[in-house]
Homo-oligomer: A and B are copies of this chain.
Amino acid sequence: MSRTRPNPLPVQTQSPHIRVTLKDVASVAGVSAMTVSRVLNAPDSIPAGTVAKVRAAIASTGYVPNSAAQALRSSKSRLIAAVLPTLTGPIFLDTIGALTAGLAKRGYQLMVGQSGYSATGEDQLITDIISRRPDGIVLTGVVHTDEGRRRLLASGIPIVETWDLTADPLDVLVGFSHEAVGREVSRFLVGKGRKKLALIGADDVRSKRRWASFAKSARALGLSAPVARFVTAPAMLGDGRQTLRALLAEHPDVDAIFCSSDALALGVLIEARAQGIDVPGQLAVVGFGDLNFSAQLDPALTTVRIDGPRIGELAAHCIVSRALGQPLEERIIDVGFTIVERAST
């Protein structure tokens, strides 16, 4: 037909290419569908000649297996679901990036779900996830409702929790102790001769746990009770500026601040400079996260570094092992953290 089509796009609903099936490849190659399947899944058991023939047919037809059919038949979806509070906010980003890459390397894909900072919609999210029958679920920085945890657990899908070390893990855990972070930062600051500690944090559970440990440790070391201010997550630079102002107005004797994110710490540094407060002379500042800008600030920011990519890669390893039913060396992996000392303390 030489007629021109005025509007070609809406017309083609499905490409022919995507509808190529095993059978089509088989008939092109002159073998049965099973042989094609075996060439794809266990080529070693097939003579080289047949393999070549089939490979040629696959190439010429542009065949790509339909993973829904594979999943249905084999009960293996090669899909991993990740749940995180929100994609907005850079904290978990490296982890998710490394997780995605680590899964791709192993032949798995990642499906993402945002649970939000509230529990709203979490139920629907969990239904959506279970409906996909993922081979594993990676939980990152989320506290689920009891009902949500129960359903996830009841689904029997392997679960890896990350970015935390809780007392009662569902199964596998890759993270670090927020209690240890709070304790070590307070020890660090006390070691620097600081007398009146403060914390500015986001109002999430982990930040609160760091605070509890930070405060307890400071008191144990003989200091007066530290003070804290919490801002609504996600905590941003502007919150740091405002909160420092309010904090110092009420507690002018504070000489060290632990911020629950580097973004907050940057706000604190900027506000301190605006107020003519010397850092670290009058005020020591410690961040959390070691974002890529933190080393370049002026003064460079002392902060707690978490190896996000490592958590992602380990989570990929663990969840795939679980998915394959392989034994895991360890069920609880503590990746630790580092206090990176720079000019702000």
Contacts and interface: CB of A to CB of B under 8 A. Distances in A.
A13 B156 contact: yes
Given A17-B156, A111-B109, A96 B87 contact: yes
Contacts of A111: 79, 109-112
B104 A128 contact: yes
A295 interface: yes
B293 A130 contact: no
Copies of this chain in the oligomer = 2
A88 B77 contact: no
Interface stretch (A28-36, A262-270, A281-289, A336-344): A262-270
Interface string A288-324: 0000110111100000000000000000000000000
Contacts of A125: 104
Given A67-B133, A90-B90, A18 B157 contact: yes
A147 to B, nearest CB: 12
Contacts of A93: 87-88, 90, 93
Interface stretch (A68-76, A173-181, A182-190, A248-256): A68-76
**Interface size class, chain A:** 35 or more
Nearest to A234: B292
Nearest to A298: B270
Interface in A86-124: 86-88, 90, 93-94, 96-97, 100-101, 104, 109-114, 121, 124
Q: Specify which of A12, A130, A157 lies most central, judged by the most chain B CB atoms within 10 Å of its CB.
A: A130
A153 to B, nearest CB: 8
B292 A236 contact: yes
Given A72-B72, A154-B17, A296-B238, A131 B88 contact: no
Nearest to A12: B156
Given A96-B87, A104-B113, A104-B125, A296 B270 contact: yes
A206 interface: no
A14 interface: yes
A152 to B, nearest CB: 10
A192 to B, nearest CB: 24
B296 A241 contact: yes
A128 B128 CA distance: 21
Given A88-B93, A97-B88, A267-B296, A68 B62 contact: no
Contact of A127 (B64, B86, B130, B293): B64
Closest 6 CB pairs of A and B: A15-B156, A87-B97, A237-B293, A68-B71, A237-B296, A68-B72
